[in-house]
Structure 1
Amino acid sequence: MTASISQTLAAWRARITRPPGPLGAASRAVQRRINAIIPEKVHAAVTAAMAAMTQAMLTGAGFVTGAPLRQGSLEAREAKVRAAVRGWKTAAGAEGGAAGAGGFLLVAADFPLLMSFKLKLLFEIAALYGHDGAVLSERLYMLHIFELAFSDAEHRARVLAAMDDWDARPHPADLADFDWRAFQQQYRDHIDLAKLAQLLPVVGAPVGAVVNWRLTAHLGETAMMAYRMRWAGKGEGSDG
């Protein structure tokens, strides 16, 4: 791990755990008040649905992208990762634009489809960094990457702490032990306003394309940094 990569990682960690500014704090306070108003049975139902959908995707045979890449420098791996992110950004953007042009029903359908794109991207990235997506602990790591990308700073700090020294830690034996309530609530709060904009007449299509493109790009960047953490933790050399 070169000094430049180490410095990039340190700067990234500091940036994503920085407390929100006044606008961000006010927005988060509003979201918390809204969540407090929503009945518990609704929270429970949404959590169960999100957990079932995500677990089904994580355990689906079509999501494992092949054998992990065992050889190659960090630089060579990340060239392939960037190409994968570009491909999934394009697909997600096209799908978001079509959904935004189609009104409420297509926007509703866009949610699970975009989720599947994001998870497929994470499986592909994991394999390119040499990790086996068929292993439960790797799927849990992917869920944490997802949380890092789509959570507030307070939650990201807790997730980062759980990800440090990942390969030396014991891990749950079942996906059911994952905190699905926090996962779905953080994700929903993070993307609600952006996805609602897809419902607007005329601008829904371009907004949907840009939103999906940016969300996928952000997840790809977050995944790269998260796997660099693993690479650094193993003390592997790099020319990138």
Structure 2
Amino acid sequence: MEPTYTIYEQQTIRQLRRWQIGLHKEPGLLERTSKNLQTRVNTLIPDKVHKTITATVKGIVQTSLFGMDFIPKNEPLTGATLAESDAKAEELLKLYKKIAAAEGAGTGAGGILLGLADFPILIGIKMKFLFELAHAYGYSTKDYRERLFILYVFQLAFSSSTKKPALYETIRNWKAIAATLPPAASYTEQIDWQQLQQEYRDTIDFRKMLQLVPGIGAVVGAWANYGLLEELGVAGMNSFRIRKIMDKTAGAAEAEFF
């Protein structure tokens, strides 16, 4: 029996199609120019700073994914409609963008040391948002497979355009992938931490490194953090929307829509 979609779900499916097309586009002139400028900025940053950031990315992500501290106290919104989950997700995104902007402004105004402190704090804010987002769409982060899904959403939001199509395919086929996952302890060894760190740094470095510049750190910090949460919100909401629609159809929507 063919599933019946609400008008809201039909509109969302059309939005997801456009999003998918955008993920598969070649990088434009602006993105290539930004990458070149970012590379120049990176050469001006001491190697010690780069190593600190790299270690921080791995440490915070590992802690959030394989610990229990980030799991929300509220139960997942199982049984909620897509519209209801989206409404809750929008509330969360609005809140976390404000939190991230305030944090970026505060650390940005404090010079290079506080600017560096912003990196682990911001990653923690992002991961906490994604955990809350999963529950908004009815998926419990007590299940380690849901925390691994969050890792792929995180990477999708902060990877180069060349990596996004493959990450999208992982998200689109997550139900089948999750069914084949080994125990959590062994799966952690299969994660390419080096690639995750490098892609994340390459995506955010230009904006965040400007935060370390004296005199403009506060303004740039607020702007950068707000924008990074916005990007994460788009990737996160769309990833969970796909899953929720496909769950409704037991996967039948995969070939037709995504």
Using the size of structure 2 for normalisation, the TM-score is: 0.81
Shift of 1:89: 0.7
Counterpart Cα distance in 2 of 1:210 and 1:119: 19
The residue type equivalent to 1:197 in the other structure is L
> How big is each residue's C-alpha offset from its partner over 1:130-150, in whole Å with a ceiling of 9 and x where there is no partner?
101121211111111111111
**1:89-168 to 2 correspondences below 5 Å:** 89-168=97-176
Amino acid of the structure 1 residue aligned with 2:236 = A
**Number of the residue aligned with 1:70:** 78
Moved more, 44-53 or 120-129: 44-53
Trace 1:37-76 onto structure 2 (pairs within 5 A): 50-66=57-73, 67-76=75-84
How far is 1:29 from its partner?
A: 6.4
Report the AA paired with residue 213 of structure 1: Y
1:226 is the counterpart of 2:226: no
Match among 196, 199, 202 for residue 183 of structure 1: 196
Asked if the contact 1:148–1:160 (Cα under 8 Å) also holds between the matched residues in 2, the reply is yes
In structure 2, C-alpha distance between the alignment counterparts of 1:211 and 1:95, rounded to whole Å: 11
Q: Which residue of 2 aligns with 1:200?
A: 213
Percent identity among equivalent residues? 36
Which AA in structure 1 matches 2:164?
Answer: R
Partner of 1:171: 181
Which residue of 73, 77, 93 maps to 1:85?
Answer: 93
Deviates more, 1:140-149 or 1:17-26: 17-26
Deviations 1:138-195 (A, max 9, x none): 1111111111111111100110112222112223532232121111111100111101
Deviation for aligned residue 1:74: 0.8
Where does the alignment leave 5 or more consecutive residues of structure 1 unmatched?
36-41
Shift of 1:75: 0.6
Q: Are the structure 2 counterparts of residues 217 and 200 from structure 1 closer, same or farther at C-alpha, using a change threshold of 3 Å?
A: same
Question: 2:129, 2:150 → 1: CA distance?
Answer: 10
Choose between structure 1 and 2 for higher RCO, CA contacts under 8 A separated by at least 6 residues.
1
CA, structure 1 residues 127+137, in 2 after alignment: closer, same or farther (shift >3 Å)? Answer: same
Contact 1:195 / 1:208 at 8 angstroms: preserved in 2? Answer: yes
Secondary structure at 2:248's aligned position in 1?
coil
Report the CA distance between 1:58 and its aligned residue. 2.1
Asked if the contact 1:140/1:175 (under 8 Å) is kept, the reply is no
Tell me: CA distance 1:226–1:181, structure 2 relative to 1, closer, same or farther (3 Å): same
Deviations 1:17-75 (A, max 9, x none): 2111134235546778999xxxxxx9999766532331112233320003211121111
Check the 8 A contact 1:149/1:222 in 2, yes or no.
yes
Question: Relative to 1, partners in 2 of residues 1:44 and 1:87: Cα closer, same or farther, differing over 3 Å?
Answer: closer
The answer to whether the 8 A contact 1:96-1:208 is kept is yes
Deviates more, 1:87-96 or 1:26-35: 26-35
Task: In structure 2, list runs of 5 or more residues that go unmatched.
Answer: 43-48, 251-258
3-state SS of 1:18 partner: coil
CA displacement at 1:127 relative to structure 2: 0.6
Q: Determine if contact 2:60/2:123 at 8 Å carries over to the other structure.
A: no
Q: Any idea what SS the aligned residue of 1:199 has?
A: coil
Runs of 4+ that moved beyond 4 A: 26-35, 42-49
* Cα distance in 2 between the residues matched to 1:87 and 1:219: 13
Select between 161-170 and 179-188 the one with higher mean Cα deviation: 161-170
2:13 is equivalent to residue 6 of structure 1: yes
1:232: how far off? 1.9
Please report how far the alpha carbon of residue 204 of structure 1 lies from its aligned counterpart in structure 2 after TM superposition: 1.1
